[in-house]
Amino acid sequence: MSYLSKVFINPRRKAGLRYISNPQATHAAIMQAFPPETEIGRPLWRLEKEGTRAHLLVLSNLRPDWSHITEEAGWGDAEGAQAKIASYQPLIDLISRGREFHFKTTVNPVHSTTSPQGKYAKEAATKTALNTPEGKRPRGTVVPHKTVAHQTKWFQDRVERWGFELSPLNSNTSSPAGKAFTLTNRNVLKFKHTKGSQITLNTATFEGLIRISDPEVALNSLLNGVGQGKAYGCGLITLTEPQ
Amino acid sequence: MSQQHNPILVLRLRGPLQSWGISSQFNRRTTENVPSKSGIIGLLAAAEGRQRTASIDDLLELKIGVRIDAPGTQLRDYHTVANFDGSNLLISDVNAQGHQKRGDSKKQTLVTKRYYLQDAEFIVAIQGNEQLMEKLAYAVEHPRFPLALGRRSCIPTGRLLECNENGQKLWRGMSLREALSAVNWRKKPGVSEPYRLPVILDESSDSIKDGMLDSITDVPVSFDPHKRGFTSRTVRHIWVTPPGLSPEAEKNRMMSDPFSLLGAE
């Protein structure tokens, strides 16, 4: 059983601001929505900003309790729902081959290379020296895609592996790549890990039309997320009715 | 309230480059992000064929409003100044006879900074008395001097005058704010569609008690090279959603709610 939640975040409160700016804090708070010693698995989430408003979308395999977030980063005693929880089953039932959806996802496009450039070269050299036994092929270094072209290509190349295909262009929609999807937002997130190390994530948000090509693989991508950075708000694909 | 019903002249300012300086000095010529009142009055005076020394008192009584249809981006031009014969440039220092001296031989060429707005588009609404507006509407269509968008090198593209839906040159029976909300927004290729447009409106300074007011020093006293000077005016910042924009489409895109397929809670 899976649940989708929407938790409204008040940007005028200190804790609210922390959730908006620090994915590490958000991740920790989301993990606290489930009781100990339960199979939490890996909740997927995404922070959505609309003008000055913000909310969290969270997909989890257990029913969560958001009161700890709404208490410190919500609207206190104000009227109205501060969080919304719905079963994901109705959507799961809709997943069938050839069905078309409007999608939105924020991902962390990265690739692995054995010949990294710039600051990654030094890092790779140290790692290789420390971890590679004699005669073994060294593991690649994970390097982010930083340009629009690279991020778009990364997405296009992987969509099929995730069980989807990009819908062909129709008359109502347009995008530069000749496919009915667009890169709507790009971000570089920089924040501190609890252990003190600096984390940098290059994220990209894609929106558009996709069609289910392999229902089993697609369902796995929807429930378990895609790509890297899942703890930090990347990899959740949400589907809505195409307009 | 008679000002309310004065006729309005609407201009569409667009061109590859525009440059609206209000505080530029010496070799650094900057541009504001919106057309200045001095720039617009200068354009109207040029259209009428007034000399620089002519009076502009009647034009100073005009009320103007500017709508930003496309903000454009700033461009810095690499611009040099040199004497065509290779002699040294004149400097600000003078000799005993009061003539300007020539500079150091090493400085035969001077680099100056000139800023432009590229791909910007503005709607300017000008309100004034009947007789003057009739004259100005005719003059903009039949200019005596070449018209420019803030600087002589910035040539306007297309027709400057924007007629109302009945094809008349003057917009009647409405306020500046209403006129600026009524002029069509035109989509430009490659520009993402906003859902509202910023407007800067002349405001009388006695309405200062409600907020969103601002002061801009761009009202010319005279264009006479020997009597130049500027005073300030009070402006109000508002937003309008003119025809041509589709705020609903934008809203729908933003509101695509992942709960829509999950049924009732």
Question: Percent of chain B at pLDDT above 70?
Answer: 89
pLDDT at B138 over 90: yes
pLDDT band at B259 (very low <50, low <70, confident <90, very high): confident
Nearest to B254 among A50, A239, A240 (CB): A50
pLDDT at A142 over 70: yes
**Distance of alpha carbon A159 from alpha carbon A214, whole angstroms:** 11
**Distance of alpha carbon B18 from alpha carbon B149, whole angstroms:** 5
* The predicted structure's pLDDT at residue B105: 73
Q: How far is CA B103 from the centre of its chain?
A: 37
- Mode of pairing for the β-strands spanning B28-29 and B109-118: parallel
HEC secondary structure over B59-72: HHCCEEEEEEEECC
pLDDT at A171 over 70: no
* The predicted structure's pLDDT at residue A62: 94
Question: Percent of chain B at pLDDT above 90?
Answer: 58
> If you measure CA to CA, which chain A residue comes closest to B262?
A90
How many other C-beta atoms are found inside a 10 Å radius of the C-beta of residue B37? 27
Q: Worst-scoring range by mean pLDDT, A178-187, A221-230, B33-42, B162-171?
A: A178-187
Mean pLDDT calculated for residue range A199-204: 94
Q: Are A180 and A169 in contact (CB under 8 A)?
A: yes
Q: Worst-scoring range by mean pLDDT, B98-107, B127-136, B150-159?
A: B98-107
B120 or B263: which leads in pLDDT: B120
User: Which residue type does B1 have?
Assistant: M
Query: Highest-confidence range of A51-65, A111-125, A163-177, by mean pLDDT?
Result: A51-65
Q: Is A235 left (phi over 0), alpha (psi -120 to 50) or beta?
A: left
Nearest to B258 among A94, A238, A243 (CB): A238
* The predicted structure's pLDDT at residue A174: 43
Mark yes or no for CB contact B258/A57 under 8 Å.
Answer: yes
Mean pLDDT calculated for residue range B164-175: 92
pLDDT band at B2 (very low <50, low <70, confident <90, very high): very low
- Secondary structure (3-state) at A198: strand
pLDDT at A199 over 80: yes
> If you measure CA to CA, which chain B residue comes closest to A49?
B254
Q: Are B24 and B36 in contact (CB under 8 A)?
A: no
Whether A134 contacts chain B with CB within 8 A: no
Taking the CA atoms of residue B11, residue B16, residue B20 and residue B21 in that order, the dihedral angle to the nearest 10 degrees is -170
Q: Are B107 and B161 in contact (CB under 8 A)?
A: no
Distance from CA of A236 to the nearest CA of B (A): 11
Question: Percent of chain A at pLDDT above 90?
Answer: 62
Distance from CA of A13 to the nearest CA of B (A): 24
A116 or B178: which leads in pLDDT: B178
B residues 233-262 near A, CB within 8 Å? 252-254, 256-262
Taking the CA atoms of residue B169, residue B172, residue B178 and residue B182 in that order, the dihedral angle to the nearest 10 degrees is -40
* The predicted structure's pLDDT at residue A172: 46
Mark yes or no for CB contact A87/B260 under 8 Å.
Answer: no
Q: What angle do CA A85, A87, A91 make, to 5 degrees?
A: 125
pLDDT band at B53 (very low <50, low <70, confident <90, very high): very high
Q: Are A66 and A7 in contact (CB under 8 A)?
A: yes
* The predicted structure's pLDDT at residue B103: 81
**Distance of alpha carbon B5 from alpha carbon A3, whole angstroms:** 60
A161 or A125: which leads in pLDDT: A161
* The predicted structure's pLDDT at residue B210: 56
Mark yes or no for CB contact A90/B259 under 8 Å.
Answer: no
**Distance of alpha carbon A43 from alpha carbon A4, whole angstroms:** 10
Where would I find the beta strands (DSSP E) of B142-196?
Answer: 170-171
Q: Give the residue ranges of DSSP H helices in chain B.
A: 37-48, 57-60, 130-141, 176-182, 247-254
pLDDT at B40 over 70: yes
Q: Is B130 left (phi over 0), alpha (psi -120 to 50) or beta?
A: alpha
* The predicted structure's pLDDT at residue B92: 79
Mean pLDDT calculated for residue range B129-157: 95
Q: How far is CA A145 from CA A29, A153, A170, A225, in A?
A: 28, 10, 29, 19
B182 or A138: which leads in pLDDT: B182
Which residues of B fall within a CB distance of 8 Å from A90?
261-263
pLDDT at A69 over 90: yes
Mean pLDDT calculated for residue range B198-219: 78
Whether B190 contacts chain A with CB within 8 A: no
**Distance of alpha carbon A84 from alpha carbon A88, whole angstroms:** 12
Q: Worst-scoring range by mean pLDDT, A62-66, B73-77, B261-265?
A: B261-265
User: Mean pLDDT across chain B, nearest whole number?
Assistant: 87
pLDDT at B1 over 50: no
When scoring A102, A175, A184, A237 by the number of chain B Cβ atoms within 10 A, the one with the most, hence best to mutate, is A102
* The predicted structure's pLDDT at residue B250: 55
**Distance of alpha carbon B180 from alpha carbon B8, whole angstroms:** 10
Q: Are B149 and B15 in contact (CB under 8 A)?
A: yes
pLDDT at A226 over 70: yes
* The predicted structure's pLDDT at residue A175: 42
Whether A187 contacts chain B with CB within 8 A: no
